[in-house]
Structure 1
Amino acid sequence: MSSTAVPLVIAFLGIVGTLASGLMTQRLAEKAKSKELDRSERQHAEERQYETQRAIEEAVRSCCITLNTASLDYHSELNNFWYALRAGHVTDDLRSRLDDARREHRARYSEAQMRVSDVVLAASDDVHRRLSRMYGVLKRLDGGIPPRREGESLEQAHTQIMELWDQLSEMRRIMRQSIGVPADVP
């Protein structure tokens, strides 16, 4: 090669190298930005998933609390109604309070059917059936309708109302376990 060609080749290679390094730098910057965007999108997706999961957990927790409260209120109203029935002092106000407690319990139970786990639902279903049975028995006794089956006397109704405490306690234990409340927390 001639002595003038060498500097031209070196100059040409220098220019090509300079242009190539600019393109490579731009490509690397684009790759880094793309990775950063991907990481950011993944992080946002994880945060949305976490928030969604927290919202679901809070909805289940709230559902368990309101169902437990409604069940206890319904049980209390059944017990109050039983005492009034035994004493012969059932009033329209007591009937109304019992019916309100029943409606509230049914609403909370219906919500639970759509939100809680099958284990919690099984326990709450047992409580719901027993509360409903006691309601029917007491309303029939209040209306002077004879018992439809064995165990529907006033005395037996009270025994069954008192036995409901065990089912209510079991339902509450299962609910607490379901929402992650440690067993040793009161």
Structure 2
Amino acid sequence: MSTTVAPLVIAFLGIVGTLASALMTQRLATKAKALELDQSARQRAEERQHETERALAEAVRACYVRLNTASLDYQSELNHFWHALRAGRVTDDVRTRLDDARREHRARYSEAQMRIPDDVLTVVDGVHRRLNHVYGVLKRLDSGAPSRWEDDESLDEAHQQVMGLWKQLTEMRRTMRRSIGATQGGP
């Protein structure tokens, strides 16, 4: 019997070995495919994360451009208004241009409040407050209304304030450029 059983056992072991080999191969292939899919999913997630970060950085950069442009336009219109006021030639058109520049700046500032980092927003807040302060001074001088804060507002002081805005605008621009890596740490 052992001569009959031995070939059967060997045949049985051969069949089981063949079947086990196929199952092991299938299992290893499934694991390899799962690892490949996992790695691919991880890579897609990293790419999505990178794309999201890039889109956010681009949105901040675009916000900076719009805010910088609106701030410069506002300062320019304040300067233009001051010259018209000094010459006694303030017209409704000059007033409208200044008010439009102020509204555009306010819209860009509002956008920036929701989008830009806090350290940059601190600098932007200072510029925003200063632009609006100068606006108030010039409008009071235009209307002849008494000053609410200072007893000695004058055209000369207003001009110094308008010109003083350049320093703040320059610092704001530097801070924004540093924030997006467009410049080194220095001025």
Taking structure 2 as the reference length, the TM-score comes to 0.96
Aligned match of 1:167: 168
Between the aligned partners of 2:13 and 2:22, the Cα distance in structure 1 is 14
Deviations 1:6-45 (A, max 9, x none): 1111000000001111111111111011001100100000
What SS class does the counterpart of residue 161 from structure 2 fall into? Answer: helix
Aligned match of 1:44: 44
Q: How does 1:71-90 map to 2 (within 5 A)?
A: 71-90=71-90
One-letter amino acid of the counterpart of residue 9, structure 2: V
Between the aligned partners of 2:62 and 2:83, the Cα distance in structure 1 is 32
Aligned match of 1:14: 14
Q: How does 1:1-186 map to 2 (within 5 A)?
A: 2-148=2-148, 149-183=150-184
Stretch of structure 1 that moved more, 140-149 or 33-42:
140-149
Structure 1 regions of 5+ residues with no counterpart?
none
1:123 to 1:79, Cα distance in 2 relative to 1, 3 A: same
1:14 to 1:77, Cα distance in 2 relative to 1, 3 A: same
Q: CA deviation at 1:185?
A: 11
Deviations 1:42-96 (A, max 9, x none): 0000000000000000000000111011000000000000000000000111111
Taking structure 1 as the reference length, the TM-score comes to 0.96
Between the aligned partners of 1:48 and 1:119, the Cα distance in structure 2 is 27
1:93 to 1:185, Cα distance in 2 relative to 1, 3 A: farther
One-letter amino acid of the counterpart of residue 156, structure 2: E
Between the aligned partners of 2:78 and 2:139, the Cα distance in structure 1 is 10
Q: CA deviation at 1:152?
A: 1.9
Q: CA deviation at 1:5?
A: 1.1
Spell out structure 1 runs of 4+ moving beyond 4 A: none
> Retained in 2: the 8 A contact 1:85–1:142?
yes
Between the aligned partners of 2:102 and 2:37, the Cα distance in structure 1 is 54
Between the aligned partners of 1:185 and 1:159, the Cα distance in structure 2 is 27
Deviations 1:72-122 (A, max 9, x none): 000000000000000000011111100000000000000000111111101
Between the aligned partners of 1:152 and 1:35, the Cα distance in structure 2 is 74
Query: How many aligned residue pairs are there?
Result: 186
Deviations 1:100-150 (A, max 9, x none): 000000000000001111111011100000000011111111111122214
Between the aligned partners of 1:150 and 1:46, the Cα distance in structure 2 is 60
Structure 2 regions of 5+ residues with no counterpart?
none
What SS class does the counterpart of residue 15 from structure 2 fall into? Answer: helix
